[in-house]
Structure 1
Amino acid sequence: MRYCLALDLKDDPALIAEYERYHQRIWPEIEASIRESGINNMEIYRIGNRLFMIMETNETFSFDAKSAADAANPKVQEWEQMLWTYQQALPMAKPGEKWVLMEQIFEL
């Protein structure tokens, strides 16, 4: 299954550059948590301060299970809290929501 999500960064070139540096070499515990959740491939793209994530998952993946596993993983919580320094919620995000699931409107 493919999921696409969006999130904004704070519109500060220095913060954006630092955020990108963190993603050039993510922590091994973060990569492990991603793979263990059933995500086979993940890509993040940026234009300006807008991020776009594509996730390719297998049949075992669920957002609820991923959220529960992340909440129980101190290293993931540390990573997420650190990254929130650079991120900001989309205007339409629900309270506490970071990455917002996008709706597919076209496929060729």
Structure 2
Amino acid sequence: MQRFCLMLDLKDDPALIAEYERWHAQGNGWPDVRANDLKAGIQDLQIYRTGNRMVMILETDDQFTFEKKRDLDAKSPHVQEWERLMWTYQQALPWAEEGQKWVLMDQIFQFERAE
């Protein structure tokens, strides 16, 4: 298993943030998008929010790569439509590269277990 943390901002508008959360409420996701994520090797996906900042945690199988995910996404009209819709609510982080949405975070600490 692999774990990745990514970050993205929402537009700082309470109405848009509420609508974004409704799209992500249980039962409101698009089945084709979920199926595409599973095909890419994503086993679990969680999004947390504070204010307009979001963190996404991906747990994937060992064969997952962001290149594989990007290629699968590009071939799926439903994923492309979902991404266009979500961009209505999202905005790039100030340090994101041109066209980049979710930015991969670097792990800087892990709790050390006493043996």
TM-score band, normalised by shorter chain? over 0.9
Gaps spanning 5+ residues in structure 2: where? none
CA distance in 2, matches of 1:3, 1:101: 7
- 1:1-108 pair list within 5 angstroms: 1-24=2-25, 25-108=28-111
Supply the distance in 1 between the matched residues of 2:71 and 2:99 (Cα, whole angstroms). 15
3-state SS in 2 of match to 1:94? coil
TM-score normalised by L of structure 1: 0.98
What is the CA–CA distance in structure 2 between the aligned matches of 1:91 and 1:28, rounded to whole Å?
31
**Which secondary structure state, in structure 1, belongs to the residue aligned with residue 110 of structure 2?**
coil
The number of aligned residues is 108
Q: CA deviation at 1:59?
A: 1.3
Could you state the TM-score of these two structures normalised by the residue count of structure 2? Answer: 0.93
Distance 1:52 1:37 in 2: 20
1:54 maps to amino acid: I
**Alpha-carbon distance between aligned partners in 1 of 2:63 and 2:21, rounded to the nearest angstrom:** 29
Unaligned runs of 5+ in 1: none
**Deviations 1:19-43, CA, capped at 9 Å, x for gaps:** 0000112010111011111000110
- Matched AA of 1:11: D
| Consecutive aligned runs of 4 or more in structure 1 exceeding 6 Å deviation | none
1:63-97 CA distance string (max 9 Å, x none): 00100110111000000000000000000000000
Amino acid across the alignment from 1:20: E
Counterparts of 1:18 and 1:32, CA distance in 2: 23
Matched to 1:12, the amino acid is D
Percent identity reads 58
